[in-house]
Amino acid sequence: MRIAIIGAGITGVCTAFELADDGHDVTVFDRRGSVAAEASFATAGLLGHASLLPWAERRVGLPGWLGALAGQGPLHWHRRADRGSLRWLWQWSRSAGLPVNADRWQQLQQLARFSQERLHDLRTRLKLDIERAQGALVVFQTERARDAAQADLARLAQWAVPHTWLDADACRARETGLSADAPLAGGVWLPGDEVSNCRQVAHALRHHAQRAGVTFRFHSAVSALRAGGTGQRPQVVHVYAPPEDSTVLSPSAASPGSHGAHDAPRTEAQPFSPTEEAFDAVVVCAAQGAASLLGPLGLALPLAAVSGVTLTAPMRLDEAHPGRGPSSALLDAQARVLVTRMGHRLRVSGGALLGAGNATQQGQALETLEQALRTWYPGVARLSQALRWQGVRTATPDGMPLIGASGAPGVWLNLGHGDTGWALACGSARLLADRLRLRGASRSAHDLSLATGSDTNANTAIASGLNG
């Protein structure tokens, strides 16, 4: 099949590789000049179970909704956000209390485990050399936060996830770089979780995908989709508008060591001239532009833009004290801040703003990250050399991604992963490739996720794909 993929973030690149590995002719469109240039650029890097659970008491219903409006709690809303997001915010605030919530978490856990296993397979098979570290420690500053996590500990036990409860002394013995002054009531050690550099993997898989025949059309914005029909294939309308230093990748340049610089795309499109191409299938992975592309096809997806911030800083190397800084990942359950080690760098991530937020909120989110560093690893990071980044991703109200046929003929979805995009990317791509290969019965977008308030057990795409 000739397949188009819209979006070259980590999900799009993984999907392109899996489809090409299955023998399909794949073309990837992205408006930026490289892979992983937007939401996948500076992710926290955590894979496994620690990032999937709330780890603290979460307000739901009206209190949670009003708290978000007031800038309190895990998700902040601001007045410049799209007013249409209010309905999504209300659904989000209710989702934790729905009876099927436990099923959702279990499905996410299954997909995360499958995704991690798939990455291990790819790393071994393709000999990927990427920055990685093993294990994650979830820490609780107070006894109240520790007690609120008992339900999450029960879930880990139910899922047979290896984990160990540690008291404060055991936490400091596990992570010797922790500050002795940091408030600490205990923690949970998850040896199976890991940190891997998402952007490194995206670039490595792009190279292998190119060698498998994938064409990357960078600086190509998709302006419209047309669904297939009787005797017709779905069509992609795109505009190729490169800057002077554009790089277009094509399979003709896919020799070892070559990056395909300055090769011409397959079509004869001129800059700023819309071009329409037909494919056997189109997979939408560019979640930020999904609404404008899929809306005209009659697909109203339950998606909202949610942004988070990260801070990446080089570590102060001290030969006399090599244990400074985290050995892998540290998740502060109360502050919802994650500190991970990327080689000789520290990356701190956290915050959730509905939309992009304003300058004040962005500044407050970055201050929270810096405060977490001062609390847990004072003096370890060179903050004067830090890279501060904000990434916008799209999420469903209940946290379940949309994976599978959209309901519009020939159009498929792999998006809506929210802040678990990296944790679920490899598994989502393989699941999508399998479902496309089987050409399962068409489903509506509503049926693809556990849509908040739905009476149906919705994400059969995940459940049947992992269990069947």
Give the pLDDT score at 460: 37
Give the pLDDT score at 464: 39
For residue 105, what pLDDT band results from cuts at 50, 70 and 90?
confident
With a cut of 70, say whether residue 98 has pLDDT above it: no
Query: For the chain, how long is the longest CA-to-CA vector?
Result: 71
- Tell which wins on pLDDT, 447 or 22: 22
Over the stretch 390-411, which tens digit does the pLDDT of each residue have?
888 888 888 889 999 999 999 9
Residue 423, judged by CB atoms within 10 A of its CB (0-12, 13-18, 19+), counts as buried
With a cut of 60, say whether residue 136 has pLDDT above it: yes
Distance CA 228, CA 212 (A): 27
Give the pLDDT score at 319: 58
Distance CA 386, CA 381 (A): 8
Give the pLDDT score at 238: 93
CB 77, CB 85: distance < 8 Å: yes
Distance CA 375, CA 339 (A): 11
Give the pLDDT score at 123: 95
User: Which two three-digit tokens encode residue 306?
Assistant: 């949610």
With a cut of 70, say whether residue 466 has pLDDT above it: no
User: Which two three-digit tokens encode residue 184?
Assistant: 């600490």
- Tell which wins on pLDDT, 400 or 465: 400
Q: What is the mean pLDDT of the chain?
A: 80
**Which residues, other chains included, contact 368 with Cβ-Cβ below 8 Å and sequence gap of 6+?**
335, 337, 350, 351
Give the pLDDT score at 354: 75
Query: What's the rounded mean pLDDT across residues 122-133?
Result: 93
Distance CA 324, CA 179 (A): 9
- Tell which wins on pLDDT, 242 or 205: 205
Q: 310 has which bridge partners?
A: 349, 389
With a cut of 80, say whether residue 139 has pLDDT above it: yes
- Tell which wins on pLDDT, 466 or 317: 317
Q: 354 has which bridge partners?
A: 77, 306
In the block, which residue shows the tokens 């007045």? 79
Q: Around Cβ 60, how many Cβ atoms within 10 Å?
A: 16
Residues in the chain: 468
Among 30-39, 70-79, 159-168, 193-202, whose mean pLDDT is lowest? 70-79
With a cut of 50, say whether residue 441 has pLDDT above it: no
Over the stretch 326-359, which tens digit does the pLDDT of each residue have?
888 999 988 889 999 988 899 999 877 777 667 7
Q: What is the 3-state secondary structure of the chain? A: CEEEEECCCHHHHHHHHHHHHCCCEEEEECCCCCCCCCCCCCCCCEECCCCCCCCCCCCCHHHHHHHHHCCCCCCEECCCCCCCHHHHHHHHHHHCCCCCHHHHHHHHHHHHHHHHHHHHHHHHHHCCCCCEEEEEEEEECCHHHHHHCHHHHHHHHHCCCCCEEECHHHHHHHCCCCCCCCCCCEEEEEEEEEEECHHHHHHHHHHHHHHCCCEEECCEEEEEEECCECCECCEEEEEECCCCCCCCECHHHCCCCCCCCCCCCCCCCCCCCEEEEECCEEEECCHHHHHHHHHHHCCCCCCEEEEEEEEEEEECCCCCCCCCCCCCEEEECCCCEEEEEECCEEEEEEEEEEECCCHHHHHHHHHHHHHHHHHHCCCCECHHHCEEEEEEEEECCCCCCEEEECCCCCEEEEECEHHHHHHHHHHHHHHHHHHHHHCCCCCCHHHHCCCCCCCCCCCHHHHHHHHC
Over the stretch 9-61, which tens digit does the pLDDT of each residue have?
999 999 999 999 999 999 999 999 999 999 899 888 999 888 887 765 444 44
Query: What's the rounded mean pLDDT across residues 61-89?
Result: 50
**What pTM was computed for the model?**
0.83
Distance CA 355, CA 401 (A): 18
**% residues pLDDT > 70 (the chain):** 76
| Type of residue found at 77 | W
For residue 462, what pLDDT band results from cuts at 50, 70 and 90?
very low
Give the pLDDT score at 431: 95
User: Which two three-digit tokens encode residue 237?
Assistant: 């309308």
Over the stretch 265-316, which tens digit does the pLDDT of each residue have?
444 445 677 899 999 999 999 878 888 999 999 998 888 888 888 999 999 8
With a cut of 90, say whether residue 86 has pLDDT above it: no
Among 361-365, 373-377, 415-419, whose mean pLDDT is lowest? 361-365
Give the pLDDT score at 365: 86
Cα-based distances in Å from 194 to 72, 136, 332: 30, 7, 16
For residue 101, what pLDDT band results from cuts at 50, 70 and 90?
low
